[in-house]
Structure 1
Amino acid sequence: MKDYREKKYLEMLAEDEYIASEDIALRLDISGRTVRNELKELNKILETQGAKIISKPKFGYSIIVEDRLLYNEYMSNIKKVKHNNIPRTSKERVDFLMGYLLQLHSYVKIEDLCDMLYISKTSLSQDLRQVREQLDEYNLTLTSKPNYGIKVEGSEFNLRLCMANYAIDNEEVLQSDQLKCNRVECLKEIANILTSAFNTNNYSISDTAFQNLIIHIYTALRRVQDNNYVPMNEYLVSFIKEKDLNLAEEIIKKLEMAFHIDIPNNEIFYIAIHLAAKETIYQNKDNENIVIKDDINNIVTEMFKEVKETYKVDFFDDLELRMSLALHLIPFQVRMEYSMIAHNPIIKDIKTRATLAYNISVSACNVLEKIYKKTVSDSEIGYFAMHFNLALERKNKKVRKKNIIIVCSSGKGTAKLLSYRFKEEFDKFLNKVNTTDIINLKNMDFKDIDYVMTTVPISFPIPVPILEITCFLEDSELEKIEGFFKQNNNDSLLNYLDPNLYIINVDFNTKEEVLNYMVNKIKMIKPNIPENFYDAIMERERLSPTEFGNMVALPHPYKVITEDTFISLIILNKPIIWDKKKVQMVYLMSITNKEGRDLQYLYKVTSKLFTNKKYIKDLIQNKDYNMFCSYIKEIERSI
């Protein structure tokens, strides 16, 4: 029995007066059976508190107080306890309203909701705005009717999806009296039925998807008991394979036996849809050939094209990633066709700990949105990001070989000898080794050069790191040079931050104002910035807001469009609402449109910085550039 219903029972029951169970059921919008069961439960409590509930045929229920002092003390404590259990924050109220409204069969008046939550109509209106936003994700609406109130409306399919996904994180939702067992017992029985059926049919499913499927089936059983069924049409059924229908039919039969209920045939299709949407498909499963159809393969190719264009990361040769994405797309297609929302419990960790993979996934899923003409949810983007993250890790293990120039003043013979020695000793680090003298070095094109090794001092500036060596490369130098290659295998993030783009002591009200200011500042420092730079950043915000958490936002263009990699950072005097979260530090990074940069390393450093609450707190309070640099160096030493 829910706390707010217990309070309502006590308000409705009166001494010397009777109230019919039908009236109680109507007021609380629950069944007569639920009223009877919950009043029995309440009576057990009251009998220990100086009172009892009595019933009289044709009259209803009343209350008799036998120990006035004990009962008054109980009622006083009840009011205190119930008051403490009332949702306090807006989030708590929105969660409560979602659970309450989804289970109503009829309208509820705004005044009753205000009384229930002890809030004003203005506060309730603000909370209901958030409720409407959440319902809209499932194509559900919160309709209102004069003199009646509000109620949730939409298709039975969408109502079930919303109820089940909400119940995953809210255990008090979907308590059942119709199924003749409590929620925990019902869920255990469903789990046993599914485990048996899956083992028999060699059906594979992840642990998270398995737990979610239990909730979806439990939701379906409750709705069936309330005579709410999912209508099926030929178009929707056409996506379901025979093996999923057979498995669903087996599960339905076992559910009917376990819960002693009749389940219509339409529910076979409903469960089959969930099976098709949640199955984990492996290569060579059950010695059965998994055929990737051309349409799926073409979608993966388009995803790779989009990623290469937007991030200059090439996955075309990664067959393992291609197969993983293709297999993932098979159940994903089912979810998109039925507008099913996948629940991803680790999406927050993916965003913060695999930031580059998540951003790449946003880009790749842009292709899917165009194909299916539907928005891909954040949870789905996160699942794709897991595949891209593994691919990035594989790439990261392959050290990108460097191009170097050897500067030698002792003639071509010595230069060739040094070149040969470098190739022999450091082959795993090197791609191209060129030689020149100090005079010609000034005219060299450093576009594809990583380092310069020189036997003579270089007195003029060049845009790459320099290491001085001896003419004959002594054995004692080999360890130093190898350490240099290892140390410089990743560029320091500080190389990309111009102190003039470290902005503090400013105030803005919106993210648009912040980004517009930053872009204008960048254009003053870097005149070759494309005209559409601001628009490219806002396009990325449209695809998925870049608020990171921890008071930080990480905006960037939706694709690589600048010639150089650079960073700009702004620390506001006071936080603003970015999309839904508060942000006070904005870290704008633009990646070069040239291939070969180690993005994974830059994002790893970025992630470690902005997930560290102490670092962010210190930087927001002090706004000190040198402090920022010291934290970056500390992180890079630890990687």
Structure 2
Amino acid sequence: MRDAEFVRFIRQTKPINPADAAARLHVSARTIRTYVHRANRAMEGFARITLSRESGYAIVEQDSQRIEAWLSDALRSVETSPQTPQERIAYLLNDLLMRTDWITMDSLCDMLYISRSTLTGDLKGVERELNRFDLSLLKRPHRGIRVEGEEMARRVCLANIAVESMSGGDLVHGHLLAVVSRCVENVAHAQRFQIVTTGYQSLLVHIAIALLRIKEGCYVPMASEHLERLRPAREYAVAQMIAEGIEREIGIELPQEEIGYMAIHLAGKQTLLDSQGDAQGIVISDDVWGVVSRMLECIWAAFRFDFRYDLELRMNLARHIVPLAVRLRYSMRLRNPMLPDIRIRYALAFAMAQEASHVLGAAYGSEPSDDEIGYIALAFALALERQKTEVSKKSILMVCASGAGSARLLEFRCRREFADYIDTIATCDVLNLDAVDFSGIDYVFTTVPIERPLPVPVREVSYFLDGQDIVDLRDLLRGDAVNEALHPFFKKSLFFPHMSTGTKEEALDYLIDRVAEREPVHEDFRNLVWRRERLVATSFGNGVAMPHPLEPAAETTIVCIGLLDEPVAWDDSGCDVRAIFLVAFAPDVDDSLKSFLSVFTDILSSARDIDLLVQHQSWKTFADIVASAFASARAPAPTERR
């Protein structure tokens, strides 16, 4: 309890004996004596709390005006001072990061009206936050504590506290932010320099904090060679103009190193969403191109999706990584307001981005946050959507009774009806089937029965392709046959409803054991799944998790499903999961796997489907959901040509 609050309590209840005071305040009699001693020290010279054997505690006021003024100021301070541990941690961070001298624990206790034990607990939270920015808290007997670390790290930490609004503090006041905002907007508009909306407020806070630190005589050191590398950049020229505007407005002159610091922040305020419009200002180095290559190799190894030759995805990722590398190197944070929706709507793309993020961590010394992973996931989501709309063209073998004329007629009709789906058409008669090389053939269309098995699917059709033939063949060429696509990946023997495990470890180990018992998987399957899980938890935030091995570990791609009666916490943030889809990928990949994964992730991101599955926990419900999802995924048939 604060001194002023205790004094107000005594004034309102006087006289009151020690036992009653302790009971009313839910503390011990010894604590009451401590409150009295502390209050008397604070009111020395104008008031004093006394204890009478007959009546108890009362206040003797020597100067009524002074005690009223003191109570008014002290109670106002109590109302505005931080109350919760989170608020106190933010207050302590602001105070310690802005000061360069030592401060004692007792002084901090007096400032916050808290006990030494409470302060000790709060300082543990302070140290955890400082460690994120390579800062430390020094403690010395008889001197106190202070923050140790580089000036840039101090500023980034201060800016993150302000942007995240960890407290209602007023480190960066409105007037200074308004001045900075005006200077930035004027230059950005005049130079047509784009700053992503989600990073704009963060940029203003970083600049404002830099100005506050400069006022305190604290500058960012920057090696001359580093500064020289920044000078030719467009961001440096823009930063210089902003600095000139600030000097005109408030009279603070920024040295070249501080202009370089501002240029770094300008370079980091870009994302995949806005880099398209200013692509001419981005230079993609061999290093960045190499990072993209390693990311795509990582996706191929883990998911068997081959984006390695997707130029558009490569360019999207490379353009995004150029400013992202700046943010990672300097621990700059960028919020992603779409993150919750991205995690749920683009579950597979987010899982891919998580996998690829480790390449970025190794390259730039800092693991991307979930906000950053969300932006990367958008690039993979775009690539996956393109694969849905880009038709994989097939090679067809036409077989007729006599070859020649009838086969050519059927070929002509197929080309007219299915031009968007067919790459090549070869023809032959039944007698010459043995001489055909099927390595480049996807399907056989035949007008006559073929008595022996062939290594590719065979479809019997009429000579003139009636209406139903056209519908069926179009579905076949699109690869949308539900039963053919569904059967290899989902098995009733790997469907486990009503699991009663109490922890993530129990649930996942149970599913791993069942897969290992019933399917041919890698002998190190369990270790590969848990290694992947320890890198990044595979929950999507909608009650679903999709754990999978670090690399392909099965002969055929399969999904093992576990449905829990009660949710289990899946990650450090306490994300609850009730539906677990353990996926084991095979090394080989084909169009059916791509079609399956596309529809599978639609199911994972559907709140309705997951709720229905968890509610009923039956194989029939799941089969109906999958069949419906595959049917919905069918693209509308192209207009028939006449």
Partner of 1:40: none
Residue 552 of structure 1 and its aligned partner are, at CA, apart by: 1.7
Matched, 1:156 2:156: no
Specify the alignment match of 1:430 in structure 2: 422
Aligned to 1:619: 613
Matches within 5 A, 1:188-337: 188-234=178-224, 237=227, 240-242=230-232, 243-261=234-252, 263=254, 266-279=257-270, 291-337=283-329
Contact 1:392 1:600 in 2 (8 A): no
Looking at structure 2, the residues matched to 438 and 554 of structure 1 have their Cα atoms a distance apart, in angstroms, of 48
How far is the alpha carbon of 1:170 from its aligned partner?
1.8
Aligned to 1:524: 517
Greater CA drift, 509-518 or 156-165:
509-518
Distance 1:132 1:402, change over 3 A: farther
- 1:451/1:351 Cα in 2 relative to 1: closer, same or farther (>3 Å)? farther
Given candidates 622, 630, 637, the residue that maps to 1:628 is 622
Counterpart position of 2:534: 542
C-alpha separation in 1, matches of 2:236 and 2:470:
66
**Which amino acid is 1:596 matched to?**
D
Give CA-to-partner distance per residue, 1:98-122, whole Å, 9 cap, x none: 4223212346579969x97999979
Contact map agreement 1:99 1:173 (CA 8 A) in 2:
no
| Cα deviation, residue 194, structure 1 | 0.3
Opposite residue 501 of structure 1, the aligned amino acid is L
Tell me the distance in 2 between the aligned counterparts of 1:187 and 1:585. Answer: 47
Q: What's the CA shift for 1:263?
A: 5.0
Tell me how far 1:635 sits from its aligned partner.
3.4
* Residues 499 and 563, structure 2, Cα contact 8 Å, conserved in 1: yes
- 1:294, 1:602 → 2: CA distance? 35
Q: Given the alignment, which residue of 372, 389, 392 partners 1:380? A: 372
Deviation at residue 501 of structure 1 after TM alignment: 0.7
Report the counterpart of residue 341 of structure 1 in structure 2.
Answer: 333
Displacement of 1:213? 0.7
SS of residue paired to 2:333: coil
Superposed CA deviations along residues 609-637 of structure 1, whole A, max 9, x for unmatched, are 33444443443343222222223333334
Change (3 A) 1:583 1:147: farther
Q: Is the 8 A contact 2:298 2:356 kept in 1?
A: yes
Q: What are the superposed Cα offsets for residues 40-95 of structure 1, whole Å, 9 maximum, x if unpaired?
A: xxxxxxxxxxxxx9997xx9952479xxxxxxxx99xx99x999x965xxxxx54x
Instruction: Give me the whole-angstrom Cα distance separating, in 1, the residues matched to 2:444 and 2:545.
Output: 37
Partner of 1:583: 577
Question: How far off is 1:577 after superposition?
Answer: 2.2
Q: Distance in 1 between matches of 2:347 and 2:306?
A: 17
2:70 alignment counterpart:
62
Cα displacement (A) at 1:193:
1.0
1:160 partner amino acid: R
1-structure distance, mates of 2:627, 2:117: 52
**Cα pair 2:90 2:166 within 8 Å, conserved:** no
Q: Give the match for residue 168 of structure 1.
A: 163
SS in 2 for 1:230: coil
Q: Deviations over 1:328-358 (max 9, x none)?
A: 3332333333233333332332222223333
Q: Secondary structure, in 3 states, of the residue corresponding to 1:104? A: helix
Residues of 2 paired with 1:543 and 1:467: CA distance? 46
Gaps of 5+ in 2: 12-37, 39-62, 97-102, 634-642
2:639 corresponding residue in structure 1: none
The answer to whether the Cα contact below 8 Å between 1:536 and 1:559 also exists between their aligned partners in 2 is yes
Task: For 1:519, give the aligned amino acid.
Answer: I
Corresponding residue for 2:508? 515
Cα 1:64–1:192 shift into 2, 3 Å: closer
- CA drift of 1:403 comes to 5.1
CA deviations 1:342-397 (Å, max 9, x no partner) are: 33332332222223333333343333333334423333333333233323333332
CA distance in 1, matches of 2:431, 2:3: 92
Aligned partner of 1:556 among 548, 561, 565:
548
1:501 corresponding residue in structure 2: 494
> In structure 2, do the counterparts of structure 1 residues 396 and 606 end up closer, same or farther at CA, with 3 Å as the change threshold?
closer
Structure 1: tracts of 5 or more residues without a match: 17-26, 28-52, 66-73, 88-92
Deviation at 1:195, TM superposition (A): 1.1
Equivalent residue, structure 2, for 1:474: 466
Identity %, equivalent residues: 31
In structure 2, what is the Cα distance between the partners aligned to 1:154 and 1:12? 42
**CA distance change for structure 1 residues 440 and 362 in 2, over 3 Å: closer, same or farther?**
farther
Which letter does structure 2 place at the counterpart of 1:609? I
Q: Following the alignment from structure 1 to structure 2, what is the Cα–Cα distance between the partners of residues 539 and 186?
A: 48
- The Cα of 1:531 is off from its aligned counterpart by 2.0
**TM-score, scaled relative to structure 2:** 0.72
3-state SS of paired residue (1:548) = coil
Change (3 A) 1:228 1:492: farther
Q: 1:103 and 2:98 equivalent?
A: no
Shift of 1:130: 6.7
CA distance in 1, matches of 2:116, 2:576: 25
How many residues align structurally? 569
SS in 2 for 1:314: coil
Distance in 2 of aligned mates of 1:375 and 1:478: 52
1:407-486 superposed matches below 5 A: 410=401, 418=410, 421-431=413-423, 469-474=461-466, 477-486=469-478
Q: Which amino acid aligns with 2:152?
A: F
Against the structure 1 CA distance between its residues 8 and 237, is the aligned structure 2 distance closer, same or farther, given a 3 Å change threshold? farther
- Whether the 8 Å CA contact 2:351–2:538 is kept in 1: the answer is no
Conserved in 1, the CA contact under 8 Å of 2:105 and 2:116?
Answer: no
Q: Which has the larger displacement, 301-310 or 161-170?
A: 301-310
User: Is the alpha carbon distance of 1:268 and 1:453 closer, same or farther for their aligned partners in structure 2, counting shifts above 3 Å?
Assistant: same
Counterpart amino acid of residue 525 in structure 1: R
Distance 1:214 1:550, change over 3 A: same
The answer to whether the Cα contact below 8 Å between 2:194 and 2:278 also exists between their aligned partners in 1 is: no
* CA offsets 1:3-47 (integer angstroms, 9 cap, x no match): x9xx8876689999xxxxxxxxxx9xxxxxxxxxxxxxxxxxxxx
Give the secondary-structure state (helix, strand or coil) at the position aligned to 1:473: coil
Tell me, yes or no, if structure 1 residue 358 matches structure 2 residue 350: yes
CA distance in 2, matches of 1:441, 1:109: 93
State yes or no: 1:137 paired with 2:142.
Answer: no
Distance 1:320 1:493, change over 3 A: same
Which residue of 1 is the match for residue 603 of structure 2? 609
Q: CA contact under 8 A between 1:165 and 1:343: conserved in structure 2?
A: no
Q: CA deviation at 1:566?
A: 1.4
CA pair 282-616 structure 1, distance change in 2 beyond 3 A: closer
Q: What does 1:384-395 align with in structure 2 at a 5 Å threshold?
A: 384-395=376-387
Other structure's SS at 2:337 match = coil
SS in 1 for 2:540: strand
